[in-house]
A and B are shown apart, each in its own frame.
Chain A
Amino acid sequence: MQTATKTPFKDRARAALADRTLKLAIDRTTGTAETKRAAAVAGFPEFQAARERGRAIKDHVIANLGHYLEMFERNATASGAQVHWASDDAEARAIVTRICLNANAKIVTRSKSMLGEEIGLPHALADAGIERVETDLAEHIIQLAGEAPSHIIWPAMHRTREQVADLFREGHNPPPEAEDPATMVQSARVQLRAKFLGADVGISGANFLVADTGATCTVTNEGNAELTTTPPRIHIVTAGIEKIVPSTAHAFALLRLLVRSATGGEMTQYTTFHCGPKRPGDADGPEEMHIVLVDNGRTRMLADEFREMLRCIRCGACMNHCVVYRQIGGHAYGGTYPGPMGSVLTPVLDGLAASRDLPNACTMNGRCAEVCPVEIPLPTLLRAWRVRSWREGLEPGTLRAGIGLWARLAHRPRLYRLASRIGVRALRLFGKGGWISRLPLAGGWTAYRDLPRPPGRTFMEQYRARQKKGTRT
């Protein structure tokens, strides 16, 4: 659900690169996440075994998705929840807003859910005239800033503490008295508490959908999900259909991977299972519970080469370890999901034509796949998008022409050697000494770095000359 008129990726990236404060904020958070994850993995000798189990669980579910979804629906319905199916983002938005409007909701509290962003819920609620209150501290920050999340675990990681203090001073009434984290958090708490208690509907995401109990499982570190889902009359869960797991034990197996990979912790502070609305005699809980199961391209992925992406448990480790993400941050990606996983998912959601830069803007260094807790071969999937983009003619004509010319030479070794011989001699004309600092057709290179000036005779020339003379080396 992205707007059609977006600045091109390269412009967004360039703007991000010029923002030194942004870089500082990214480095702080991803650097800490990287160190903590490394420590958590080192202190968990069975990590590799856990990873393989996690992968096996997800693969099993993906192969039997229909079976487990039906089981989930049956058990969730039996517990009193209402299950809705949404085939795309528009349908998902419509279902959620209809439930809110039917309930005459004025205020809706929301606890962080990337799926909510994916289906464009914030806009839909605003259009329906419903006040939306983000309850996650980071989401609260970006709501004040009028932004979208820039990371799937730390949505406001692009903002420094100083910037947050400014936002709170403007957005809080009364403004916080000091800039230290404790005072600022307390201020946010005061602002949010009133909303928590006055909300008609609470909307949350789910980390897991447990098939054999019909429960939805949500993990947070702030406890805001509990406050979002318990006091209001109505609780709506929105979740992608791939979030299903067979049983609670499977949810915990994945949770261990999720938390270590995301924050380097061993457990989240809050792990909550919701199993239907309030029953007679229950002390609290919502009167109605709705679960919206969203497809939005997922069954399409099931059938193609991006199937493995459905294993993703949204831990964010790939982006924390990505050199590109760490240069440009999440917003530059322009989709709901940033980083390597986002570069695979965004073309599914927004179409490849609108996002062909994302799978291309990757060095293929493989670090994302190395840290992914469910072993998603992210570089392979990114290349699969490049192959499609090439096949569908979406790659720029200059690149196609360049590769075409190069390929014609590479297929003819004699001609290729002749071209290299001429090429290195021509290249020498552009520099003096050992370096070339300006080159007409490789401006991208020489804008930032010098190019070693070739010695003038290719290896093949020298090798053949030596062979003729009978001296080998």
Chain B
Amino acid sequence: MTDLMVMAQIAGRRCALHASDVQSVIELGAITPVPRTPDFITGITALRSQALTVIDCRRALGFPANDWNTDSRAAVVSVDGYSYALVIDAIEDITTSLGEIQQITGGFGKEWSRVATGMIETASGPALLINLAALIAGPDDSFGELSSAA
């Protein structure tokens, strides 16, 4: 199975996103904060006439926001018909995956297991394949536990 993967750094770790899920990579402009929402939702921003929900991936994983520097660029992904801008450390590369998704005994650590589909080998080394829906659901959602149990 070879798929195109977007390689990104999230909270200091190398992660892979399916290239087909990533619509584009944008420079983040002005972000309108959204009061009364969980803190991993940084706000909303506009991409042409489309409104994107900006997700801080570090917080969505349950890490503090200030431990890693982030790029001014964000990956635009679409989940269930809604578009999100993912604030990540950096976009590294686009590469192809090699082989199947694997699970690792002992998991990937509490925060990561919740959002990871599994480990994937790529041309530039192993990476964690991210389950976007789980990532976007944020740290307090039961969805992550379900998917890691599966």
A binds B: no
**Which residues in A have some Cβ–Cβ distance to B below 8 Å?**
none
B residues near A (Cβ < 8 Å) are none
